[in-house]
Amino acid sequence: MATYTKFWDVIVDQLWSYQDANLVLDSIDYLNLCFGITTDHNTGHAPCLKLDNGATHGGTINWDGGSTKYLRANAAGTVLSIAAIDFKMTGGYKIQGNRAILTYRGAPVNNEPYDTSDSTSIALGYVMPFPGSVLGVSLAFSLVSMTGTSFTEAADLYKNGSLLVAGTATGLISPPGVERVKDTYARGVHTFVAGDRLEVLYNKGGDASAWTGYASAQVEVILDS
């Protein structure tokens, strides 16, 4: 029959020494630090996950049991990228902050019209379903013929009939010929709200008194919601 000696509590306290207790607490703190969990957080949910490898990237979540499919911040913390795996949105949800391109096509152009109305006085345009801002305007103008010695073209962007941003003019175009120009803007600078109308006006420069050409303009927008 087995026998043993029962230690007094004061002896047990010595056996489970403060060094041992600290070791256990340090181990717990290690996990808390890694997950950004406050010491009194005991709900069963991690409120925050702090990621960073401190050298080559700003933190990685590897999917599918490997290291090639990941969600990763770059070292500078400027870009969060997804590699080797698609990103999918399902159900009734969407990305608030994706882009669209509004396509305008003025053809033929022999005056200075708004694009969608083909009128020099009536601005129509596309009605924005969500708020956002303009990121880019590009224009290609194909000049077929002109009377005069110089011709340039610009695509001015109008919001609700008022000039939002004037486009940069193309270089001089000699008929027949095509010139292109593009402008980009930071997000949040040229903004619009839901219901605003965005219209392009073709704006001629140079001394040409009569001309015929074809305009193709694209407006890159980003939708905030």
Partner 1 sequence: MAFSYTQISDYVLEQLMSNLLINTLVDSYRYIGEDILGIAAGATSGYVAALNMNNGVTHGGKILFCGGDQSAAETEKYLQADAAGTYVELQGMDLVVSSPYVIQGDRVTLCYYLDGVSADAYMSNQDTANSSGYYATRAGSILSIAVYGYNVTFPHPTFQGEVHKNGSSVLASSSLAFTATSQEKKTKTTQARGVDTFAVGDYIDGFINFTASPGLIYAGLTIELILDS
- 188 belongs to the binding site for partner 1 (CB under 8 A): yes
What is the amino acid identity at position 139?
L
Exposure string (b/e) for 181-200, b if CB count within 10 Å is 16 or more? bebeeeeeebebeeebbbbb
70-74 vs 99-109, strand pairing mode: unpaired
Q: Which of 22, 107, 147, 148 binds partner 1 (CB under 8 A)?
A: 107
Closer to partner 1 at the Cβ: 81 or 110? 81
Closer to partner 1 at the Cβ: 44 or 121? 44
Distance CA 9, CA 167 (A): 85
- Interacting positions 66-85 with partner 1 (CB under 8 A): 66-67, 69, 71, 79, 81-82, 85
Q: Which of 74, 98, 149, 150 binds partner 1 (CB under 8 A)?
A: 98
- 127 belongs to the binding site for partner 1 (CB under 8 A): no
At 222, list the tokens: 């980003």
Closer to partner 1 at the Cβ: 45 or 121? 45
User: Quick check: 59 and 48 in contact, CB under 8 A?
Assistant: no
Query: CA nearest 149: which of 171, 177, 176, 172?
Result: 172
Tokens 């109008």 found at:
158
- 212 belongs to the binding site for partner 1 (CB under 8 A): no
Taking CB under 8 A as the rule, which mask of x and - marks residues 137-166 in contact with partner 1? -xxxxx------------------------
- 136 belongs to the binding site for partner 1 (CB under 8 A): yes
Q: How far is CA 36 from the centre of its chain?
A: 28
Stretch that binds partner 1, among 88-96, 111-119, 156-164, 192-200 (CB under 8 A): 88-96
